[in-house]
Homo-oligomer: A and B are copies of this chain.
Amino acid sequence: MEKFDIHILGCGSALPTLRHNASSQIVNVREKLFMIDCGEGTQVHLRRSRLRFNRLNHIFISHLHGDHCFGLMGLISTFGMLERTAQLHIHAHPELERILKPQLAFFCNGLPFDVVFHPIDPAKREIIYDDRSASVETIPLKHRMPTCGFLFREKPTANHIRRDMIDCYEIPLYMINRIKNGEDYVTADGKVIPNEKLTFPADPPRSYAYCSDTVYLPRITEQIEGVDLLFHEATFGEDNAARARKTQHSTAAQAARIALEAKVKRLVIGHFSARYEDEKVLLEEAKAIFPHTMLANENLTISI
């Protein structure tokens, strides 16, 4: 199966600790890398991951709190020193361009590549990226400032061809891709072999939803229904439910309730408050509601 991996580079919340980095993830879809959020230090954590910098062309920023975007300048500046030439696309609230442009002009004068800003309207659900392998859709969230999550959907893949049928009908090489893509095969003596007989169905397209930062927001369950993996913020536990409401974050139990309602396959929780020395309590609270839950952690890679 082709790659669809999530690499957690940072899963702490606003106050950095020695245990967790500021928010950032890499989504690897068929060897194309997409970054979600870029907190301070992300470039170093990306280097530690040993993922290849030059496969990263798109960065999606959920919202403009510092712990989700303070790493951008360092990352861009380093890409410049490494003599990157490919455009770097940043999808974010339009305010980010206004804030970053003067910094880029001052610190990254003569950058050998273009930084292309793509404004997002976080209040709107729309497809903001689309290629042959995947699409990315915004998930409107509710936090202390305009915020959206991101829904990555893999494009359907071609059917698998049956090796035994290739041999049986002596199917020539040039026909293989056409059959994978749905054509029937006509033999030399004019016999039509229907596609269903020649192929297994493709793997169902996979999907990943990133929802951070946000209050408990049941309306998102419709949009993320049935995703293979949901990352949902769980800044607090039940002991801080009031604080979660006040700061417009979620508790682990609320993240689990979203996962349950949306019938997702797996849940990974993160964006942990610095006050938890050990996030096991968050895991237990979530698992009591949605058993297929795991804790995010730095250097964790989840294959979908």
Whether A99 and B95, one on each chain, are in contact in the complex, defined by CB atoms closer than 8 angstroms, is: no
A112 an interface residue at 8 Å Cβ cutoff? Answer: no
- Tell me which residues across on chain B come within 8 A of A108, comparing CB atoms: 66
Query: CB distance B99 to A99 under 8 Å?
Result: no
Q: Let me know if A202 is at the binding interface, CB within 8 A.
A: no
Segment among A72-80, A171-179, A215-223 that sits at the interface with chain B = A72-80
- Which of the 9-residue segments A40-48, A148-156, A158-166 touches chain B? A40-48
Most buried by B among A18, A41, A99: A41
> What separation, in Å, do the CA atoms of A47 and B43 have in the docked complex?
19
Per assembly, the copies of the chain total 2
> Beta-carbon contacts of A2-21 to B below 8 Å, as 1s and 0s?
00000000000011111001
- B99 and A106 contacting across the interface, CB-CB below 8 Å: yes
Tell me whether A103 is interfacial, beta carbon within 8 Å.
yes
Q: Check: A64 CB closer than 8 A to any chain B CB.
A: yes
Q: Which residues of B contact A106 (CB under 8 A)?
A: 64, 95, 99
| Given A14-B77, A14-B81, A70-B73, 8 more pairs with CB closer than 8 A | A15-B82, A16-B44, A18-B47, A40-B43, A41-B44, A66-B73, A99-B106, A102-B102
11 contacts between A and B (CB under 8 A): A15-B82, A16-B74, A18-B44, A18-B47, A64-B107, A66-B73, A66-B107, A70-B74, A99-B103, A102-B102, A103-B103
* Chain A interface residues toward B at CB < 8 A: 14-18, 21-22, 40-41, 43-44, 47-48, 64-66, 70-71, 73-74, 77-78, 81-82, 95, 99, 102-103, 106-108
